[in-house]
């Protein structure tokens, strides 16, 4: 995987995304959600990393999902390693507030093993999915494994997350009405390490 493709994915990911159009068209089945992918300083991973949060648009200071991500090229694929945050509530709002983002340190994260996302370039977009079926999540009193499918373009992010029962393989949680479809409201690509800003998107 060339460095230029890895940086293309990073620059496309870096942003504030909203599914407002989807929610407005089908309020019953899709809440209005915002996703923030905010670049971390180069020193955090000695490479490309992100802080992310997912929140309802009406309550940007109370995200229901937060994470740290490291972008790594491996052969023909790009891995997005996923990490959880200790005391994540302390960093709520970091997706849209750089002062909070700067308080996150590498000693506050823990690797989520078997939960990396693997992306491939498919000519005009990146398509990704969670590695294997061992990214385990306890929800509603059941052990589930995550199936996550993502498509990324320069201006859109489409994702479908589902939790499947580890024994019956039936869906326990996640969307039953298709993928969430986000459009980029604002790009944060200019916050990626300056050594890579010459790579076009």
What class has domain 3-186? mainly beta
Contact between 2 and 9 (Cβ < 8 Å)? no
pLDDT at 193 (0 to 100) = 83
C-alpha to C-alpha distance for 191 and 188, rounded to whole angstroms: 6
Read off the pLDDT of each residue in 173-192 and give the average, rounded to a whole number: 96
- Residue 130, Cβ neighbours under 10 Å: how many? 21
- Residue 197 confidence class, pLDDT cut points 50, 70, 90: very low
pLDDT at 198 (0 to 100) = 37
Q: What angle do CA 28, 30, 33 make, to 5 degrees?
A: 140
Contact between 8 and 198 (Cβ < 8 Å)? no
Q: How far apart are the first and last CA of the chain?
A: 16
Per residue in 7-51, pLDDT (tens digit) is 999 999 999 999 999 999 999 999 999 999 999 999 999 999 999
Per residue in 139-180, pLDDT (tens digit) is 999 999 999 999 999 999 999 999 999 999 999 999 889 999
C-alpha to C-alpha distance for 200 and 196, rounded to whole angstroms: 9
pLDDT at 4 (0 to 100) = 87
């Amino acid at each position: 995987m060339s460095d230029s493709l890895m940086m293309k994915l990073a620059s496309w990911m870096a942003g504030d995304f909203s599914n407002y159009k989807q929610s407005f068209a089908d309020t019953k089945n899709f809440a209005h959600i915002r996703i923030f992918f905010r670049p971390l300083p180069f020193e955090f991973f000695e490479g490309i990393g992100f802080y992310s949060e997912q929140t309802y648009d009406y309550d940007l200071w109370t995200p229901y999902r937060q994470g740290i991500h490291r972008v790594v090229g491996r052969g023909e694929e790009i891995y997005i390693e996923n990490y959880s945050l200790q005391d994540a509530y302390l960093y709520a709002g970091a997706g849209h507030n750089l002062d909070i983002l700067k308080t996150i340190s590498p000693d506050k994260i823990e690797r989520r093993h078997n939960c990396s996302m693997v992306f491939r370039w498919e000519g005009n977009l990146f398509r990704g999915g969670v590695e294997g079926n061992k990214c385990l999540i306890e929800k509603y009193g059941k052990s589930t494994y995550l199936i996550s499918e993502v498509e990324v373009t320069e201006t859109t992010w489409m994702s479908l997350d589902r939790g499947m029962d580890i024994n019956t393989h039936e869906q326990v949680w996640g969307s039953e009405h298709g993928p969430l479809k986000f459009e980029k409201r604002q790009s944060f690509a200019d916050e990626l390490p300056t050594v890579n800003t010459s790579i076009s998107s």
